[in-house]
Amino acid sequence: MNLLILYWSQTGNTEKMAQIIKEECESKGSKVEMVFSDDYKNYDIDNFDVIAFGCPAMGDEELEDTSFEPMFSDLENKLSDKKIALFGSYEWNNGEWMGFWKERCSKNNLNVIDTVICYDTPDENSTADIKKFADNLLK
């Protein structure tokens, strides 16, 4: 399986999640590319079986708006035949941004196969959840 992880991280928590996903999938034999949203340059998404998007909650429970949001918006209309997954970290509220993001994807008929959120830095419990999420990407 070929997996593309496109993510944005300010404090490093979402990047840690991306790294856990990458390591878990690679340990099961998958080929994984992990790309920071600032470095995204028209990847040929047809080469990937699954695309995992990672972005923390920002502002008023929204996606980061200078790098990640423009990238995701640009790709959104190209994802209808792709399996995608969403992940990210938060440090306030209850992670409502993930529900908003998943709903947005649903309204655009995107195939979201799984989501996972993490409060702050991944700990033992959230790392287990992230690894389960990674395993679900391989199904």
More confident residue, 60 or 120: 120
Contact 112, 105 (CB under 8 A): yes
* Claim: this prediction has a pTM higher than 0.95: yes
Beta strands in 8-122 (DSSP E): 31-36, 50-54, 83-90, 111-119
Residue 59's nearest CA partner among 10, 112, 105 is 10
pLDDT tens digits along 13-42? 999 999 999 999 999 999 999 999 999 987
Domains of the chain with CATH codes: 2-137 (3.40.50.360)
Give mean pLDDT, residues 36-49: 90
| Measured CA distances, 28 to 52, 57, 83, 128, 130 (Å) | 16, 29, 18, 16, 15
